[in-house]
Amino acid sequence: MKDAQSLHANEGALTRRELMGGSALGAAMLGAGAAPLAAQSDKSAAARQKKSSGRRIIDGHVHLWKLPRNAPPMSDNATFPTGCCGSVPWMEVDRMPADYDARVGGPKVDKLVLIESSVATPPDKIIQSNLWMLQAARADGKILSVVGNLDVTQSPASFAQQLGQLAAYKQFVGLRIGSGIFTPNASRTLANIVPNVLTNLTLMAKMGLEIDTLGITGTALAEIGAAVPGLVMVMDHFAGKPTTFDVEAGWQADMHAAAGYEKLNIKVSDVHKLSATAVTGKPAGLNQYQPVADPTPYLPTLDFLWRNFGEDRLIFGTNWPVSDAGGIFVDSIDLEINILETFLADKYVGGRDKVMYQNALRVYSPRKSTV
């Protein structure tokens, strides 16, 4: 495998145009020409939007790619979005910052946090996958930082070597990890974590790197936090909550356990997908539907999280372009902004800036680096 410096030298020739060129702006505008939904265009919504205009927003969760992923500039052979999930035409196009800004909500957002989407990337391509994201971040000032992907179950020596390659870049701030850290077919508890994981997470904590998590319970993360003090964590997409308007008892209990670890944050991303079951009768997936635009049904879930984690541990994000599953006749970015701004304006206006950008700056700001 090429080392980071040689890969960086080879990819350093990539210009902003090469990284961003060929983006399918038209395909990114699903529903952009449709008339605004009534729930978003009434006087109260207009007043809220006017009041919040000019206030900063950081989208703490976006994915970007240029297809095909087995060819330059990505060249990481990942199967997402093509090859992982059947035919998903609305995702199987280039997705870059220019496409984000072509959406109704895009220009309202100041900065983006780029989260890995390296599904099934072969081990010999994983550094390349991360470096492409870092190159994309350097080429576009809208990208604040990058949360990458490495195998945290590998030997500590190999992990430290790979992590060091990426940590040379100031915009590399952490890794996203999933349930693969546990022994297969065993309960997902601290006792069943693969042996190398805690050692590798301890190294990350010492380096000031965070982890985003997907598919790991709050209870397990609280246990990991006790074992790796100081490790900053973010639970993505409402911490695994079912996509309903209910505040399920089991999820509540898990969130109470998670809240006990003070460095654990919740990413309120994909909020509009909580309406999936109400609209389609099924959990949210990759089949597109028109989500509920009225912010009111989302408020109990948001209120529960606020009461348990407070204004300092909630981070706004969209999960764009995957968020466009809830994107028929509506811009998913704009809708998610409206839901959160409504919630904050109605009850917690004093914490608005923390949720919408300050907490993201605390967790995801670029690190000091030589690159």
Name residue, tokens 């904050």: 344
What number is the average pLDDT over the span 161-189? 96
pLDDT in tens, 202-220: 999 999 999 999 999 999 9
Contacts for 212 with CB less than 8 Å, ≥ 6 apart: 115, 147, 174, 175, 176, 177, 233, 234, 236, 267
| 235 in Cβ contact with 266 (< 8 Å) | yes
| 23 in Cβ contact with 96 (< 8 Å) | yes
212 three-class SS: strand
Instruction: Give the pair of three-digit tokens for residue 273.
Output: 């997908």
Helix (H) or strand (E) holding 7: helix 4-11
Average pLDDT over the chain, rounded to whole? 88
Q: How confident is the model at residue 368 (pLDDT cuts 50, 70, 90)?
A: confident
**pLDDT at site 370:** 53
Q: Alpha helices of 228-270 — where are they, by DSSP H?
A: 249-259
**pLDDT at site 29:** 33
**pLDDT at site 346:** 82
175 three-class SS: strand
Q: Nearest-5° angle of CA 57, CA 62, CA 66?
A: 135
Share of the chain above pLDDT 70, in %: 85
- Asked whether residue 9 carries a pLDDT value surpassing 60, the answer given is no
Please count the residues of the chain: 371
pLDDT in tens, 130-141: 999 999 999 999
Closest CA to 335 of 367, 364, 278, 294: 294
pLDDT in tens, 24-64: 333 333 333 332 333 333 434 444 444 444 599 999 999 99
Note if the bond before 291 is cis, omega within 30 degrees. no
What number is the average pLDDT over the span 1-8? 34
Helix (H) or strand (E) holding 112: strand 111-115
Contacts for 321 with CB less than 8 Å, ≥ 6 apart: 28, 62, 63, 90, 91, 95, 99
**pLDDT at site 369:** 59
- Name which of 8-17, 47-56, 276-285, 328-337 the model is least confident about: 8-17
Share of the chain above pLDDT 90, in %: 83
**pLDDT at site 234:** 98
**pLDDT at site 220:** 97
What number is the average pLDDT over the span 97-125? 98
Task: Say how far apart CA 16 and CA 138 lie, in whole Å.
Answer: 9
Task: Say how far apart CA 324 and CA 160 lie, in whole Å.
Answer: 36
Q: How confident is the model at residue 371 (pLDDT cuts 50, 70, 90)?
A: low
Instruction: Give the pair of three-digit tokens for residue 58.
Output: 């950081």
| 14 in Cβ contact with 139 (< 8 Å) | yes
**pLDDT at site 33:** 30
**pLDDT at site 48:** 46
**pLDDT at site 7:** 31
What number is the average pLDDT over the span 247-272? 98
Task: Say how far apart CA 181 and CA 190 lie, in whole Å.
Answer: 10
What number is the average pLDDT over the span 139-146? 98
**pLDDT at site 129:** 98
